[in-house]
């Protein structure tokens, strides 16, 4: 067989992907990992050369092509798409690549098809992602498997993970590219807890928005099929086309949600805030949720500015705060005291007992500390546009101290009156940040770390660098 160069093969794979119908791609979760990323992942995993490696949803075989190039000989691949498999076969000279439904069939059947007498050493790849619905199903009568998948979030990639547990030998490695929101979305909790309690999480590599045409962000989750009480998870980030190690976090630290800390400093600040303070949900026991008014007079998201409104005065009395529901990392929280005004659906509303407490919380919401917390620990470091929904707000740490409470309320009142975004307005924002840091016992070094991070994320418009 004439050997096709990696570059040429990469073009063949890309062209095939481009030729596919959008609906077919969506239903089968088709988006191929390019050769460059597949190579970096394979080198990063550094599996022993004798390993039996399987990519159960291999597409055009990009991972396997790279594995072969790196000298692995025992490589196996399957995919439900016959055409993709015929391309993979042309490039990788082996009989071990098959058209096969690896989500619907059980592990024994799959291994038999490859003449393998036992589970494999390593499972790699990028399984399909698609919510299981009426038109996207798994073709199996295995009720318990389907039930597990359903109870863990009903997605094809969840099915692929469970299937991998059956195909892998003890101590073997599973490394899959999966959606980043697997780490924190509530519906995936059952599988997440199974992994935290029964597998060793070797590493999590945050590849962010590597796949430009795929919704959301992705991670490479690498597990070992064993359990170790004192395991540390290594957290990596894909930065400037390199895989960079950020820190290690004990696996036992996580009980359900897995936060992707970006540095030791972030981890330390998180532990400090978690250990000491009560949450927004403990203090703010009134309504927290979307506005519901359909009236023409209802305030909508774009009417709100930081601490005021575009076209109306800030009310003096009442007990509501309005927050733009769409959150952008560049601008941070945009909210105002709203008294008894009405809000439409693009607004998040919270109510509290009195006007003073509303203004106090409003002050905290606009602080660097709050926006830092929200981005890193509520949105799990996703830089995509998020929403200020109740489930995120309720996680915010909220501390109230006698010596700063009234000062913060009065700074907020000043910010409502001063000319919007004037020099004095920015000076007041600085004073607010000082008071919040003081209230939360944030050290000078921690403050520098937070301010620097926020400055690099927020747009220049929100800094008054004179």
Ligand X SMILES: C[S@@+](CC[C@H](N)C(=O)[O-])C[C@H]1O[C@@H](n2cnc3c(N)ncnc32)[C@H](O)[C@@H]1O
Nearer to ligand X, 102 or 388 (CB): 102
Ranked by CB distance to ligand X, the top (closest) residue is 59
Q: Give least dist CB 137 to ligand X, A.
A: 10
Q: Is 331 exposed, middle or buried (0-12, 13-18, 19+ CB in 10 A)?
A: middle
Q: Give least dist CB 59 to ligand X, A.
A: 3
Would you list the DSSP string of 326-354?
EE-TTT---EEEEET--B-TTEEEEE-SS
CA distance 446 to 376: 14
Nearer to ligand X, 30 or 132 (CB): 30
Q: Give least dist CB 91 to ligand X, A.
A: 13
Residues that bind ligand X (CB under 6 A): 28-33, 55, 57-59, 62-63, 78-81, 84, 101-104, 125-128
Q: Give least dist CB 80 to ligand X, A.
A: 4
Q: Give least dist CB 6 to ligand X, A.
A: 14
Nearer to ligand X, 67 or 370 (CB): 67
**C-alpha separations of 405 from 360, 363, 411, 442 in Å:** 7, 10, 10, 16
Nearer to ligand X, 4 or 457 (CB): 4
Nearer to ligand X, 85 or 362 (CB): 85
Q: Give least dist CB 246 to ligand X, A.
A: 24
Q: Give least dist CB 168 to ligand X, A.
A: 16
DSSP H stretches of helix in 328-443:
355-366, 368-373, 390-393, 402-417, 423-439
Q: Give least dist CB 379 to ligand X, A.
A: 24
Contacts for 373-381: CB closer than 8 Å, 24+ residues apart: 373/273, 373/397, 374/327, 374/333, 375/329, 375/457, 376/259, 376/261, 376/262, 376/266, 376/270, 377/259, 377/270, 379/327, 380/180, 380/181, 380/183, 380/184, 380/257, 380/259, 380/260, 381/206, 381/260, 381/262
Cβ–Cβ under 8 Å, residues 128 and 29: yes
Query: Would you state the structure tokens that stand for residue 459, as one six-digit string?
Result: 């747009």
- Residues 6 or more apart whose CB falls under 8 angstroms from that of 414 comprise 428
Nearer to ligand X, 81 or 206 (CB): 81
Nearer to ligand X, 78 or 299 (CB): 78
Nearer to ligand X, 51 or 102 (CB): 102
Nearer to ligand X, 33 or 251 (CB): 33
**C-alpha separations of 96 from 47, 49, 79 in Å:** 19, 17, 12
Q: Give least dist CB 89 to ligand X, A.
A: 14
CA distance 241 to 36: 9
């Amino acid at each position: 067989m004439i050997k096709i160069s990696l570059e040429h093969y990469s073009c063949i794979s890309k062209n095939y992907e481009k030729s596919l119908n959008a609906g077919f791609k969506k239903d089968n979760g088709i988006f191929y990992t390019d050769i460059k990323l597949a190579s970096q992942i394979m080198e990063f995993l550094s599996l022993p050369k004798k390993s039996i490696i399987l990519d159960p949803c291999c597409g055009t075989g990009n991972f396997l092509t790279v594995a072969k190039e790196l000298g692995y000989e025992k490589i196996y691949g399957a995919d439900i798409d016959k055409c993709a498999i015929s391309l993979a076969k042309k490039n990788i000279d082996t009989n071990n690549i098959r058209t096969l439904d690896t989500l619907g069939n059980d592990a024994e059947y799959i291994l038999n098809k490859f003449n393998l007498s036992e589970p494999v050493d390593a499972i790699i790849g990028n399984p399909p992602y698609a919510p299981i619905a009426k038109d996207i199903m798994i073709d199996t009568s295995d009720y318990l498997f389907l039930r597990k998948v359903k109870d863990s979030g009903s997605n094809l990639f969840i099915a692929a993970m469970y299937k991998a547990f059956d195909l892998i030998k003890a101590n073997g490695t599973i490394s899959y590219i999966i959606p980043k929101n697997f780490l924190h979305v509530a519906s995936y909790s059952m599988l997440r807890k199974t992994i935290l309690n029964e597998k060793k999480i070797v590493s999590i590599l945050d590849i962010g928005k590597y796949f430009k045409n795929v919704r959301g962000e992705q991670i490479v989750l690498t597990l070992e099929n064993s359990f170790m009480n004192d395991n540390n998870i290594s957290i990596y980030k894909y930065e400037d086309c390199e895989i960079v190690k950020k820190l290690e976090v004990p696996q036992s630290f996580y009980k359900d949600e897995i936060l992707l800390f970006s540095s030791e400093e972030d981890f330390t600040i998180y532990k400090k805030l978690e250990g000491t303070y009560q949450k927004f949900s403990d203090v703010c026991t009134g309504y927290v949720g979307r506005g519901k008014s359909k009236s023409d007079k209802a305030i909508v998201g774009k009417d709100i500015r930081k601490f005021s409104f575009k076209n109306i005065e800030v009310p003096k009395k009442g007990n509501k705060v309005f927050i733009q529901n769409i959150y952008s990392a560049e601008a941070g929280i945009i909210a105002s005291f709203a008294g008894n005004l009405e809000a439409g659906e693009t607004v998040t509303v919270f109510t509290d007992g009195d006007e003073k407490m509303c203004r106090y919380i409003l002050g905290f919401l606009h602080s660097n500390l709050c926006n830092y917390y929200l981005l890193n620990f509520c949105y799990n470091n996703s830089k995509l546009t998020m929403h200020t929904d109740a489930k995120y707000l309720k996680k915010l740490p909220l501390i109230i101290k006698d010596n700063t409470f009234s000062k913060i309320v009065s700074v907020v009142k000043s910010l409502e009156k001063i000319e919007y975004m004037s020099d004095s307005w920015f000076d007041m924002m600085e004073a607010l940040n000082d008071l919040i840091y003081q209230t939360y016992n944030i050290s000078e070094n921690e403050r520098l770390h937070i301010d620097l991070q926020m400055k690099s994320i927020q747009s220049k418009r929100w800094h008054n660098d004179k």
